[in-house]
Chain A
């Protein structure tokens, strides 16, 4: 089942000589359990694609469907509700609230959505457990390492019944060990049925995805083919 669908999505900023086609007719479908990476250089439209997919911004043309619902047909309130309930975001700079503990940060979006405090806290602790941070639940962000902060952000993005995870350079500020841990967590969230879109210019990050699409000047110009199994590398005795 497709969790995210972009159909002919276009977005332009500025006008006249300063006009920039950030997205130009983008089609993209991400199904439940699938992880898609969007690769492209700065200015290729990666971040715009993510903000439009997450309904933080509206396209000029085209349609966006999240969990089968066309965003254009929803009221502003209904869109906000869909954003809170269905979509989780992970950013490069974590975006945790410094005055709240890890558990409170994870529970906050659920509580804002009207989930009773106790239920929200239960869901937050379960999400923290999934990212291996149960023991850090009562700690504040400034008591956590960068890698731990990003794991809290992932817990926040998947807590509750979220079905779509949108990540913008999620390991950009981390060393390679923590970056790998973050990608493992996003990938395991997908194995539990979450659909994920990760935008990045980093090929190592993108290589965790089931499919990589390449964006250039606002257009999808290419994508990876379905992969041969990893055994093909081992059996042919690739000599590095």
Chain B
């Protein structure tokens, strides 16, 4: 999450004080992303240095110092909103690694490993769903954040289900031994883990 762009978004509504920016940031992300006050001021200083915001020049460095967005800041914000995040290369996913490793460690039942992770994820989803049920009714931003989290966790559970099914089929019908060692690795393997 880019704190920098979130602050620009808040300032696009009009001039605001530092403390106010922190409170509004938390309120609008459903209080799921707490932000410390230091982070707010450091980010504001950088934004000012880069000409994306300007302060009211009161000289007061405290919470009452006011900020407003510049033309360059508005352009930066619009550009960021329309730029897709980099999802092109697979991230190095700890859960995927654990399942891959579990297939190779003698004496480990990989399907039990999968189930342990599945249970944990579903428990987390139950907690998010309770938040949606009890608190997100009147809070649109919180509902959006909770949905995002539920869909993200759901995708991981689906991957576990698919992996479980694939391992079951593979155990029932073992594939012929792998291709010769000289064969080139698939492109995606070489790229795996290139991010982060």
Contact = CB atoms under 8 A, between A and B. Distances in A.
Interface of A: 39, 41, 184, 187, 201-204, 206-209, 212, 214, 216, 221-225, 227-230, 232-234, 237-240
B130 A234 contact: no
B31 A234 contact: yes
Nearest to A240: B149
B167 to A, nearest CB: 12
A225 B120 CA distance: 9
Contacts of A201: 161
> Interface size class for chain B?
35 or more
A207 B131 contact: no
A226 to B, nearest CB: 9
B134 A203 contact: no
Interface stretch (B42-50, B100-108, B152-160): B152-160
B126 A227 contact: yes
Contacts of B175: none
Given A203-B153, A207-B128, A225 B123 contact: yes
Contacts of A230: 127-128, 130-131, 134-135
A221 B112 CA distance: 9
Contacts of B40: none
A40 to B, nearest CB: 9
Contacts of B152: 240
B144 to A, nearest CB: 11
B54 interface: no
Contacts of B131: 230, 233-234
Given A237-B32, A237-B34, A227 B130 contact: yes
Contacts of A240: 32-33, 145, 148-149, 152
Contacts of A214: 115, 118-119
Given A237-B33, A239-B1, A239-B33, A39 B122 contact: yes
Nearest to A238: B32
B125 A227 contact: no
B83 to A, nearest CB: 20
A214 B115 CA distance: 9
Contacts of B157: 203
A224 B154 contact: no
Contacts of B127: 227-230, 232-233
